[in-house]
Amino acid sequence: MVVILHKHNCLLPEFFQMHNPRCHFLILFIQLISIISFCHYVRGGDNNTSAVKVDVGIILDLERDVGKVMHISILLALEDYHANTSRRAIRIVPHIKDSKKNDVEATSAAIYLLKDVQVQAIFGPIMSTQTNFVIDLGNRVKVPIISPATNPLLTVKENPFFIRAALPSCSQTKAIAAIVKKFDWKEVVVIYEDSPFGTGIVPHLTDALLEIGTSVSYRIVISPSANDDQILSELYKLQTMQTRVFIVHLRPKLAKRLFLKANKAGMMSDGYAWIITEVLTSLLDLLDHTVIESSMQGVLGIKPYIPRSDQRNNYTRRWRKRFRQEYPDMDQIELNIFGLWAYDSITSLAEAVEKLGTTAIPKLKKPDTRENLTDLDALGTSAVGSLLIHSMRNTELKQGLSGEFRIIDGELQPFPYQIVNIIGKGEKNIGLWTKRDGISCELKMNGKTAAKCNNTQLGAIFWPGETTIVPKGWEMPTSGKKLRVGVPLKGGLEQLIKVDRDPKTQAVTATGFCADVFKEVILSLPYALPYEFIPFPIQDPLTLPDYDDLVHKITSQEYDAVVGDVTILASRSEYVDFTLPFIGSGISVVVPVRDDDRKNAWIFLKPLKSELWITTGAFFVFIGFVVWVLEHRVNKEFRGPKRKQVGMIFWFSFSTLVFAHREKVTSNLTRFVLIVWVFVVLVLTSSYTASLTSMLTLQQLQPTITDLNDLIKNGEYVGYQEGSFVKDAFIKRMKFDSSKFRSYNKLEDFDDALSKGSKNGGVGAIVDELPYLRLFLNKYCRKYIMVGQTYRAAGFGFAFPKGSPLVPDVSRAVLKVMEGEFMNSVIQKWFGNETDCTQKDETDITSDSLTLDSFKGLFLIAGVSAGSALLLFFLNFVYQNREILATDDSIWKKLTAIAKVFDQEKDDSNSTSEEPSESNAPKLLAAIEASPEILPDLPSQSPEIRISDGLAAGFFTTEPGTPFQKPLQAQLKKDDTNCWSNAIG
């Protein structure tokens, strides 16, 4: 300020100095003070004690426009820092070196700055190949290297003295993937530069696309030295492919040539989509406007979002003015994101240096050795580099020119990405992307995104060809080959697929159900899809190919699709993509039909299974034995000769079958057993009658085999269609012996094999998918029937390469065809009228014979009841004869004695029968004759009391009503009453 007054003083008017002595004195005094102040300022500027100088190296490629942009930003950043009076204690001294587009020059500049100048930090270079070696030098000398290189291979974690002052190229891959997902593109082509700048992004971009289900169908690597013909050749190659979405990762100079040639090849027209990456979008101003207007219209791009501010607007005007001063011979170029990042980086570096204090910063510490050293060995070590890098690795400029300039762990933190559409001479903002919210319409003031945009809001995009219709991302190339469709060639089952070749023209035609559906589906697509059929022989006796081999032709790129009776399987879907199934499927079994059983002489045995017959017979014998044991000692009906007793066991139990038993039982345990057993017999006879009635009255088509396990038990052979997957599936599910399978090709072969049977060189059953079996039953519905469980399968579908964009379109067309009338007509055409044979669909037929499982509960109850009664009887019998068991005889003698007692009739003196009264009558009469004097004492009572017929017939001849008869009757009646009283008591 003093200097300025001194200068102005020299310009005062002469008369003002001459004619006013006081003013003249004042002027002399001011001049003296100004001279003293100026000398002090000059002296202070040269004195190191008044300001600490910090040497900083700057390595830029000043032959590139981006290098010039960063150069001006660095100069302005240092001027702004020094202009702040509060920071006069630190003075940043820049040492700028030009790398001249050469890695060796950049390395030489870094060595010079570290060895001779002994800088405390280096900013640059920007090229990844140049930065790589400079970073190694910084790690060795412990000097921070602040570089705007974007190659993700330069990692901060592996280089402790490296700070990235720009966003790595991998940070944009999620944003690019979000754009691709927004428009549902399933395949893209990546075009990148053959340099570390280009190759570093490819793995990250591929992974980001795979996460959203999009694949990279092709990659084009363009060398920076490639000529125009080489570029055009690669573009022509792309025209022969289906994919129409291209992601371009090139620097401006090479991208300019690419888009000029793409426009020449007609690839900037409708149907194409182009996306350019961050570096090219940010440096779009470096391209000629004529190139943008002629060859880049409709291109989408992304770049870091820089919020608008007055600070940035003022700085932009200063930057333009300073650029014209430094480079007056150049055309004016615009400030870009790399210039803003350079400004914020130098500002952050100056603040980090300021934190070290105002003491003098020592020079690099030289190595102790005195030997002749190379330039690398002569490099010292920075004493403050560790402190400086620690301060720089975590810093933040909330009011930076680029926005919130934050460096965490040595890495510049991601910015929101701006999505732009190139229109006219410039670009139009169409949305934003953030990692948290994805694509959004705008960014709020607090940093949060607004409501997400939908396709309609983003529909203002002008795509190549000046259209607003979103490209579908692929199309069949008009100049390329037709869609190569593989179809199975086999000798039979032509209703599903049949392939013919014209002997003259060699043209291949395909007919049948599957071919007709495919043709209708292609016609339903919203675009033309030319194709040609290529036959694939399934019955080749030399190679024995199957349907898996046919599908594998897609992975080997021999076919573009496969059409036919190809079942959708999980194993096949691992290497191809299937459309939605156009017909359902499943695996089932067909067996021959038995003759009418009503003509069978042994049909009465059919209602019950053999195991049920055996169990029932065994229980009849068991129940008869239990009844005999319980009644043998107390019931004369169950006594007698041994042959009679054995016959009684069988007779009594089997007579209960028709409830014809006449023998009376006396034991309560026997009655309990019979109650339960009669109920069991009632259920058995009712079930048998119902089953036999059904067999005799209903005319049915009964299969020869109802249980598929019988095929395994009987060792039956099973037939299947040659080349089909059902053999392996059936072996896996039913545990069949693989040697028991025989393959056939035609429906007639199926019929012949089933007619012969397994024993005559045929098979006992046919295993195949439902469409084939329905065709077979349509023709032979009265001879064969479908039995057993149906194992579900996904159905028939069309196969395409993995990730093919055709799959969703064809699947939608399949749904459209299935919902229309065409499907009914084509089914009727090839499968016929399925109602012609009413019995053919009885897939759930089971045997009418009753099984043991249905009566297990009844037999269990009967067995427990009879066993319990038998156990109680033996326990009581053993207790009553415990004296025998208590003797000292041998066990055999004891058992013999017990058996003899069991075989003897039980003597029960308290029996309630009439025989005891008759046996006492002679004794009573004898007593009367021996003592006649007692007769007068007999009461004369009641004429109604009469003697039984037995007594009257055997001992009395007196007429009724005589004096002797009445007293005797009364006495006998009294004695009889006493006998009953004794029996009850």
Lowest mean pLDDT among 154-158, 720-724, 927-931: 927-931
CA–CA distance, 114 with 141 (Å, rounded to integer): 8
> Per residue in 668-717, pLDDT tens?
887 888 878 888 888 888 888 887 777 766 555 567 777 777 777 888 88
881 has a pLDDT exceeding 50: yes
Query: Is the separation of the CB atoms in 902 and 632 below 8 Å?
Result: yes
> Lowest mean pLDDT: which of 16-30, 368-382, 510-524?
16-30
Query: CA-based diameter of the chain, in Å?
Result: 205
Cα–Cα distance, 778 to 833 (Å, whole number):
8
In the prediction, which pLDDT does 446 show? Answer: 47
pLDDT for 785 beyond 50: yes
Q: Where is pLDDT greater, at 449 or 97?
A: 97
Retrieve residue 394's tokens.
């975590």
- Name the 3-class secondary structure at 177: helix
- Among residues 65, 84, 95, which one has the least CA distance to residue 279? 65
Q: Give the pLDDT band (50/70/90) at residue 978.
A: very low
- The whole-number pLDDT of residue 588 equals 86
pLDDT interval class at 953 (50, 70, 90): very low
CA nearest to 210, candidates 238, 244, 181 = 181
Give me 527's structure tokens.
Answer: 């675009």
The DSSP element (H or E) to which 188 belongs, if any, is strand 187-193
Q: How far is CA 284 from the centre of its chain?
A: 43
Cα four-point dihedral sign 550, 553, 558, 563: positive
Q: Is 3 helix (H, G, I), strand (E, B) or coil?
A: helix
203-207 long-range Cβ contacts below 8 angstroms, 24+ apart: 204/152, 204/169, 204/170, 204/173, 205/170, 205/173, 205/176, 205/177, 205/247, 205/249, 207/173
Edge to edge, the sheet with strand 426-434 lists 215-222, 187-193, 245-249, 273-276, 300-304, 417-423, 426-434, 438-440
| Percent of the chain's residues with pLDDT above 90 | 31
Strands 426-434 and 498-501, by their bridges, are unpaired
pLDDT at 375: 62
- Position 193 scores a pLDDT of 94
Q: How far is CA 422 from CA 243, 427, 474, 720, in A?
A: 22, 4, 22, 62
Structure tokens at 68: 């010039």
pLDDT computed for residue 111 by the predictor: 92
- Is residue 216 within 8 Å of residue 206, measured between CB atoms? yes
From first CA to last CA, the distance across the chain in angstroms is 149
DSSP sequence for 326-371:
H-TTSPP----HHHHHHHHHHHHHHHHHHTT-SSPPPPPBPPS--S
With a CB cutoff of 8 Å and minimum separation 6, the contacts of 356 are: 384, 387, 388, 391
Q: How many angstroms separate the CA atoms of 109 and 97, rounded?
A: 6
**pLDDT tens digits for range 113-147:** 998 898 999 998 999 889 999 999 999 999 999 99
Assign 630 a pLDDT band (cuts: 50, 70, 90). Answer: confident
What is the model's pTM? 0.59
Select the more confidently predicted residue: 600 or 310. 310
Region for 349 from its dihedrals, namely left if φ exceeds 0, alpha if ψ lies in -120 to 50, beta otherwise:
alpha
Per-residue pLDDT averaged across 598-623, rounded?
A: 77
Distance CA 498, CA 513 (A): 9
More confidently predicted of 357 and 230: 230
Burial class (CB in 10 A: 0-12, 13-18, 19+), 973: middle
Beta bridge partners of 220: 191
Residue 948 has pLDDT above 70, yes or no: no
According to DSSP, the residues that pair with 703 across neighbouring strands are: 593
Backbone angles phi, psi at 481, to 5 degrees: -80, 160
Query: Which residues share a beta bridge with 300?
Result: 275, 421
Is the confidence at residue 947, as pLDDT, over 60? no
Residue 725 or 190, more confident: 190
Residue 913 has pLDDT above 70, yes or no: no
Q: And the tokens for 307?
A: 């919020």
pLDDT category at 166 given cuts 50, 70, 90 is: very high
Distances in whole angstroms, Cα of residue 43 to Cα of each of 87, 93, 563, 920: 19, 18, 92, 166
Higher pLDDT, 61 or 948: 61
* Distance between CA atoms of residues 861 and 858, nearest Å: 5
Copy the structure tokens of residue 545: 């190919």
Is residue 125 a contact partner of residue 102, using CB atoms and an 8 Å limit? no
321: Cβ–Cβ under 8 A, 6 or more apart, which residues? Answer: none
Categorise residue 438: left if φ over 0, alpha if ψ from -120 to 50, beta otherwise: left
- Give the number of other Cβ atoms within 10 Å of residue 244's Cβ: 25
Its sign, for the CA torsion 92, 98, 103, 107, is negative
CA–CA distance from 926 to each of 922, 923, 931, 950 (Å)? 6, 5, 9, 17
Q: Is the dihedral of CA 125, 129, 131, 133 positive or negative?
A: negative
Q: How confident is the model at residue 165 (pLDDT cuts 50, 70, 90)?
A: very high
Reported confidence tier of residue 321, pLDDT bands at 50, 70, 90: very high
Per residue in 224-259, pLDDT tens?
999 999 999 899 888 878 889 999 999 999 999 999
* Contact by Cβ (8 Å): 218, 247: no
Across residues 857-874, what is the average pLDDT? 84
Tokens 């025998």 found at? 884
Assign 882 to helix, strand or coil.
helix
Is residue 392 pLDDT above 80, yes or no? Answer: yes
More confident residue, 948 or 266: 266
Distance CA 174, CA 450 (A): 19
Q: Give pLDDT, residue 928.
A: 41
Confidence band (pLDDT; 50, 70, 90) for 634?
Answer: confident
**Quick check: 544 pLDDT over 90?**
no
C-beta pairs of 193-196 under 8 Å, 24+ apart in sequence: 193/221, 193/222, 193/223, 193/224, 193/249, 193/250, 193/251, 193/254, 194/221, 194/222, 194/223, 194/224, 195/128, 195/129, 195/224, 196/128, 196/129, 196/132, 196/151, 196/153
What is the overall mean pLDDT for the chain?
78
Rounded (10°) CA dihedral 577, 579, 581, 587: -10
Chain-centre distance for alpha carbon 176:
26
What are the CA-CA distances from residue 491 to residues 542, 564, 749, 769 (Å)?
Answer: 16, 14, 11, 17
What pLDDT, on the 0 to 100 scale, is given for residue 972? 44
CA pair distance 940, 933, nearest whole angstrom = 15
How high is the pLDDT of residue 983? 35
Instruction: Please list, in sequence order, all residues whose beta carbon lies within 8 angstroms of the beta carbon of residue 209, skipping any fewer than 6 positions away.
Output: 177, 180, 188, 215, 216
Q: What is the pLDDT of residues 458-484, one digit of tens each?
A: 558 999 998 988 998 887 665 556 889
For range 532-560, the mean pLDDT: 83
Q: What is the pLDDT of residue 915?
A: 42
Confidence label for 895 from pLDDT (cuts 50, 70 and 90): confident
CA nearest 975: which of 913, 923, 905? Answer: 923
Query: Each residue of 172-189: pLDDT tens digit?
Result: 999 999 999 999 898 899
pLDDT (0 to 100) of residue 186: 87
Using a pLDDT cut of 70, give the percent of the chain over it: 76
- Identify the H or E element spanning 971: helix 965-984
pLDDT class of 916 with cuts at 50, 70, 90: very low
Predicted confidence at residue 876, as pLDDT, reads 81
Among 83-92, 232-241, 309-318, the minimum mean pLDDT is found in 83-92
Q: For residue 433, what pLDDT is reported?
A: 92
C-beta of residue 596 within 8 angstroms of C-beta of residue 701 = no
The mean-pLDDT minimum among 214-218, 402-406, 676-680, 910-914 falls in 910-914
465-497 in b/e form (b: 16+ CB < 10 A) is eeeeebbbbbbbbeeeeebbbbbbbbebbbbbb
What pairs with residue 786 in β-bridges? Answer: 590
pLDDT tens-digit map of 818-861: 998 899 899 888 887 655 554 444 444 445 677 788 788 888 88
pLDDT score of 2: 39
pLDDT, mean of residues 321-336: 91
What integer pLDDT is reported at residue 526 of this predicted model? Answer: 74
Q: How many C-beta atoms surround the C-beta of residue 937 within 10 A?
A: 8
Q: Cα dihedral sign for 319, 335, 333, 169?
A: positive
